[in-house]
Amino acid sequence: KAGVTQTPRYLIKTRGQQVTLSCSPISGHRSVSWYQQTPGQGLQFLFEYFSETQRNKGNFPGRFSGRQFSNSRSEMNVSTLELGDSALYLCASSFDSGASSYEQYFGPGTRLTVT
């Protein structure tokens, strides 16, 4: 089974621009979560989508948004980019069977640099 894929792998943007990152989950997984990793803040939860609905949200400004499509693929968007948005963005997918917990599997990440 193919793993979680993320595109693009690397991205360089200018302050003030916007960016869209894409994530394709493992086949059959309906939950997709996004995380941001920076040297200063470590790994932080952004949001989680399940069946096209945002189910959980972390403490990030409204410039960070996401969506999920009917095939479970997800995109996240960052508008009005700031230098501090430079980070590794990781996507994870899970097979949510309705149990109280489930294992998350991560993609290779998208490394975003804002100049």
Partner 1 sequence: GIQVEQSPPDLILQEGANSTLRCNFSDSVNNLQWFHQNPWGQLINLFYIPSGTKQNGRLSATTVATERYSLLYISSSQTTDSGVYFCAGAGGDYKLSFGAGTTVTVRA
Binding window for partner 1 (CB under 8 A); candidates: 12-20, 22-30, 48-56, 70-78? 48-56
Q: Which of 5, 13, 22, 45 binds partner 1 (CB under 8 A)?
A: 45
56/98 Cα distance (integer angstroms) = 15
Q: How far is the CB of 97 from partner 1 (least distance, A)?
A: 13
Confirm or reject binding of residue 102 to partner 1 (CB under 8 A).
yes
Q: Please give, one letter per residue, the 3-state secondary structure of the chain.
A: CCCCEEECCEEEECCCCCEEEEEECCCCCCEEEEEEEECCCEEEEEEEEECCEEEEECCCCCCEEEEECCCCCEEEEECCCCHHHCEEEEEEEECCCCCCCCCCEECCCEEEEEC
103 binds partner 1 (CB under 8 A): yes
Contact status: 64 vs partner 1 (CB under 8 A):
no
CB-wise, 94 or 114, nearer to partner 1?
A: 94
Binding-site ranges for partner 1 (CB under 8 A): 31, 33, 35, 37, 42-45, 48, 55-56, 58, 88, 90, 92, 94, 100-109, 111
